[in-house]
Amino acid sequence: MSDGARDPFAPAIDAGIHRLAIPTPFAVGRVNVYLIDDDPLTLVDAGPNSGTSFDELTRGLESLGRSLEEIELVILTHQHIDHLGLVGLVAARSGAEVAAIEHAVPIVESFSEEMEADDAFASSVMLRHGIPKDVVDALKQVSRAFRAWGAPAKVTRVLREGDELSFRDRTWKVHWRPGHSPTDTVFEDAERKMLMAADHLLAHISSNPLITRPLDGSDERPQSLVTYLDSMAETRKMDLDYVLTGHGDPVTDHRKLIDDRFAMHRRRADKLHRLISERSRSAYELAQALWGNIAVTQAYLTLSEVLGHTDVLLNAGRVRELMDGETIRFEAVT
């Protein structure tokens, strides 16, 4: 590096872990895919399903003296399409095993059907919280177009909380950390005090706890942010020096980052409480008050953000829900 600073990924490289930054079509930018140069030769995530991403993945492996056909195991960190899109293709080309947390198996194996169900659930949530039907319909079409960046894969190794993945030179412990998605999984190398965290923790942006269809098939909307805060609290307890993330650079002080995230979410909840105290509002009206005119592609993301913080306020007894026709509004508790 030009200023003499050490490559932030140097500790990973020293441990036989190589980051490949694969392009995505999303605002978050490139996704980090990791080659674990061990036995078995392992890929963590694979990038979205596109020719450009596949070519960069292939070239990245070749630059490390490896080929796609040598991959023996693919580990999936969670269900989002920028991480799972190429998993099936990599496994088909290499014959690799595919490992994923048990909660992700039906989503990964029945991708199109699960995404259709997710879209129906999201539409219901949006309509109930004040987003106009024309925006909901437009966002459904956007979601269907994005779906092409994902693809199904057969999971051949089902992971559970507390399982261990044994390699020649390391052992990883499996931890389920739902919140950003219902299937977020992190992998702890206790000997090195290192964590493979994917999107559970990101250094440069906060992970958006997207409102996602419940894994148990119920119609009740999950409290994604509340779940995510609980998951971060569990990760905060871990003895770590180095966290590899799904986007951007590694994290070297996970407790400070998590404390900063907790403080940020408290500030946002307080800001929403002030807005609700002015008058009762729907989640969509709250999102508009915070961010103005919202692009169609951001409507569900911003709704998830608002609902996450109103859940915090509801649980604290600071607001309550009111039905206004078929729309839910939030009112401050005096």
Q: Is residue 32 part of a domain?
A: yes
As for how many domains the chain has, the answer is 1
Q: Is residue 205 part of a domain?
A: yes
Q: Is residue 272 part of a domain?
A: no
pLDDT tier, 2 (very low <50, low <70, confident <90, very high otherwise): very low
Q: How far apart are CA 185 and CA 174, in angstroms?
A: 7
SS3 316: coil
Which amino acid is present at 70? E
Domain that holds residue 97: 10-109+149-252
Q: Is residue 275 part of a domain?
A: no
Whether pLDDT at 202 is above 70:
yes
Q: Is residue 325 part of a domain?
A: no
**79-93, 133-147, 308-322: lowest mean pLDDT where?**
133-147
Which amino acid is present at 183? T
pLDDT tens-digit series, residues 216-266: 877 789 999 999 999 999 999 999 999 999 999 999 999 999 999 999 999
Nearest-CA neighbor of 296 among 145, 118, 135? 135
CATH number of the domain residue 20 falls in: 3.60.15.10
Question: What single string gives the DSSP state of each residue in 170-216?
Answer: -EEEEEE--SSSTT-EEEEETTTTEEEEETSS-SSS---------TT
Peptide bond into 132 cis (omega under 30): no
Residues sharing a CB contact under 8 Å with residue 228, sequence separation 6 or more, in sequence order? 178, 179, 180, 207, 209, 308
Q: Determine contact, residues 102/158, Cβ cutoff 8 Å.
A: yes
What's the distance, CA 150 to chain centroid?
14
Instruction: Give pLDDT, residue 1.
Output: 46
What's the distance, CA 116 to chain centroid?
19
* Residue 289 DSSP label: H
Q: What's the token pair of residue 33? A: 């895919």
Tokens 């999102």, located at residue: 287
Q: Is residue 87 part of a domain?
A: yes
Q: Is residue 175 part of a domain?
A: yes
324 membership: H or E segment, kind and range: strand 319-324
Average pLDDT, the chain: 95
Whether pLDDT at 26 is above 90:
no
Whether pLDDT at 5 is above 80:
no
Q: Determine contact, residues 212/224, Cβ cutoff 8 Å.
A: yes
Q: Is residue 169 part of a domain?
A: yes
Q: Over range 315-333, report the average pLDDT.
A: 97
| Strands laid side by side in the 319-324 sheet | 281-282, 327-332, 319-324
